Amino acid sequence: MIRRFRGESLNKVDAKGRVSVPAAFRRVLEEGDPDFSEGSYPNFVIVYGGVRGNCLEGYTINSITKVDKLISKLPRFSREREILERFINTQSTYMQLDETGRIVLSIRLKEKIGIKDEAIFAGMGEKFQIWEPTNYQNEVDALNTSFENLPEDENPFLKLDQLQD
């Protein structure tokens, strides 16, 4: 089975910026790190740029490597590549879980998304997101509204099956 990021969790952020990554996510990060072995702690990548930039996004090493490989196919000095490198490499950072399954969010990262002493972890399949709780609620509400306003023929649930191969 290929495990994916699922579920959400509200965790405390302490004075040093430490937060527990939900245990279920840790399993996914372990599976997604080719260098992980029993007794070590998985590495992964947090991207903090992104189009809207009000949350952090965590990627396993394997999935970020896929992205990196795609970027590397673009001509070395092209503008396109520059844009992608700027958003995906410049605005990201390696992370490693510690012994107790925590990471530390630096002051910069916390400021970036407005986190104080709590953070929401939200599973998104190949990635997970970290939100400041209020912002998260707003995002969920906004999604609900925009979903309710969609015409029937654009209902993504219905469109899903049409994509079939």
Which residues of the chain form contacts with DNA (CB under 7 A)?
9, 11-12, 14-23, 26, 96, 98-102, 104, 106-107
Rounded CA-CA distance 45/87 in Å is 13
Chosen from DNA, its own copies, none, partner binding at 152 (C-beta under 5 to 8 Å by type): none
Chain centroid offset of residue 141 CA: 20
| Cβ–Cβ under 8 Å, residues 63 and 127 | yes
Contacts of 147 by beta carbon, 8 Å cutoff, 6+ apart: 156
Chosen from DNA, its own copies, none, partner binding at 23 (C-beta under 5 to 8 Å by type): DNA
By CB under 8 A, residue 3 contacts its own copies: yes
Which range, of 12-20, 31-39, 97-105, 110-118, touches its own copies by CB under 8 A? 31-39
Closest approach of DNA to the CB of residue 52, in Å: 24
Amino acid (one-letter) located at 118: E
Which range, of 13-21, 97-105, 117-125, touches its own copies by CB under 8 A? 117-125
**CB atoms < 10 A from the CB of 84, how many?**
16
Residues across the chain: 165
Q: Which of residues 49-108 bind its own copies (CB under 8 A)?
A: 51, 61, 67-68, 70-73, 76-77, 79-87, 89-94
Rounded CA-CA distance 151/154 in Å is 6
Chosen from its own copies, DNA, none, partner binding at 111 (C-beta under 5 to 8 Å by type): none
Strand partners, 118: 12
3 state SS of 109? helix
Closest approach of its own copies to the CB of residue 64, in Å: 9
| Cβ–Cβ under 8 Å, residues 25 and 32 | no
Chosen from DNA, its own copies, none, partner binding at 60 (C-beta under 5 to 8 Å by type): none
Closest approach of its own copies to the CB of residue 98, in Å: 17
